[in-house]
Amino acid sequence: MPKIALVTDSTASIPKDLVDKYEIIVAPQILIWGKETFEDGVNITPSEFYTRIKTASVMPSTTQVTVAKFLEIYQHLLEQDYQILSILVSSKLSGTINSAVQAKSMLPPDAPIEIIDSNSTAMAMGFQLVTVARAIKQGATLPECMDLAQKATQHTGVFFAVDTLEFLHRGGRIGGATRFLGTALNFKPILELRDGKVEPIERVRTRRKSLDRIVELTVEQIGGRTPVRLSALHANAPEDAKIVLDNATAKLNPIETVFSEVSPVVGVHAGPGVVGLVYMAGM
């Protein structure tokens, strides 16, 4: 039976226990902070990142996984006779897929490497990966895994509440939510990752209402489909994320829940305090 390796990037923010359990290879995004360069989740952790950003005089920036890193990963796996499936962050949010494609082009044309746009990020992409990983353990072929990954993109989504649009705006990831810029500070934007882009949903007046609203929107979007898997994600806001996950769990009776802290690179663009609710429903 052919061996299949799953490769993703660090924006997936999959908890370490799941990464280890399913042997998912995570290519690190790059964080640039002044004259320092970090590999996302490798030599800077989320807690270190959020502690440092509170007092930083220089704000960090990010860049995609390097071509060299993908080439290193792919070569290592091919030497072990693996077929490779890369499921990566939305091409509308990052150039990561371009790096992977360039790396693949440097290898023999018959190298068994497939690259899929998750059209998402964070645990919305993570659920896609875990679903495929479970199929691999049950003996799925590479074409079957590709079909499953493509199907999974249609069954996942994420709503999230932010304290400010400053970080998304500065990083150019704000999409249609530009129309929320310049609004009163007491309004809390609610956003959705839709078709691979950040799009605005609505504004509410308080933080607590925004947390309640992302649960309501998720329930509406799922529309009774089962089974349901949920993940609360957060950027240095674990208490609020727990409230959201508990509330959603009570309403949706999921078969699986995951608590996820977004990686530093995602934190650069989303900003401290973001809380999201990810779902996979109907598969």
**Whole-number Cα distances in Å, 239 to 139, 141, 180, 211, 245:** 39, 41, 26, 11, 10
pLDDT of residue 52: 86
How does strand 61-63 pair with strand 25-27? unpaired
Same fold, 3-29+64-152 and 156-281: no
What confidence score (pLDDT) does residue 136 get?
A: 97
- Give strand pairing partners of 229: 256, 280
Percent helix, strand, coil in the chain (nearest 5)?
40, 25, 30
Q: Does the pLDDT of residue 185 top 60, yes or no?
A: no
pLDDT for 182: 44
Residue 229's pLDDT is what?
98
Report the chain's mean pLDDT, rounded to a whole number. 90
CATH number among 3.40.50.300, 3.20.20.70, 3.40.50.10170, 3.30.930.10, domain 3-29+64-152:
3.40.50.10170
Tens digits of residue pLDDT in 194-208: 899 888 888 888 889
Mean pLDDT of 154-179: 66
Cβ atoms of 205 and 187 within 8 Å: the answer is yes
Q: Cα 112 vs. chain centroid, distance in angstroms?
A: 25
| Domains of the chain by residue range | 3-29+64-152, 156-281
Which two tokens mark 184? 């009163």
| 156-281, CATH topology level | Hypothetical Protein Tm841; Chain: A;domain 3 (3.30.1180)
Specify the pTM: 0.90
* pLDDT reported for residue 184: 46
